Each structure stands twice: as structure tokens, then as C-alpha cells.
Amino acid sequence: MDDRKAAPIFSPWTEREELELAWLKTEPISIQDTAIGRLQSIHKREIMATFKAMVKEEKAAFLKKLQDDAVNEQEGAKDEQEALI
């Protein structure tokens, strides 16, 4: 820090701020309360808007890909469970 500069001005921490902090520490934080969660919500809305703009054939191909991916995920989960047994 440069010794020639004055320290920044700030207001002292208040009792109200202390109470708010204590309350925030006790509240669970969901992913929607974070920047990542808000970004995920934006992406979901963008995907829906893109899907609505697709022609019928594109929608069918997109849905088939989603279904195939879901089946592959389920099979992968089954394989992992069987490996544990």
C-alpha cells in the first residue's frame, strides 16, 4: 500500500449489519441464489427459446438426442451400481 495515500473512508460496522450477517449465516444457500444458478436459469430459457424456433424436423432430432442421452445415463448408472455389488 502506498503510504502517501489516505486510508479509504468507510462507515463502521453496525449492529443491524451484524444481525443481518448472523441471519445470512443460518440460511441455506440454494444454487439459484448464486451467479451460477442464475446463469443456469438464463441458459434454460435460451434453450427453450431456441427449441421453440426450430422447425419440426430439428425438434424431433433434438428430442431423440435427449432421449438417447437419458438412456445412456441410466445404463451408465446401472453399470456403476452393478460394479459396486
pLDDT digits (tens, 9 = 90+) for 15-73: 999 999 999 899 888 888 899 999 999 999 999 999 999 999 999 999 999 999 999 99
Question: Domain-by-domain residue ranges, the chain?
Answer: 13-53, 55-85
User: Residue 46: what pLDDT?
Assistant: 98
User: Residue 50: what pLDDT?
Assistant: 97
Residue 57: half-sphere exposure toward Cβ, Cα within 13 Å = 0
Choose between 8 and 56: higher pLDDT. 56
Q: How far is CA 24 from CA 19, 28, 34, 43, in A?
A: 9, 8, 14, 27
Rounded to an integer, what is the distance from CA 43 to the centroid of its chain? Answer: 10
Closest by alpha carbon to 58, among 68, 50, 67?
Answer: 50
85 pLDDT tier (thresholds 50, 70, 90):
low
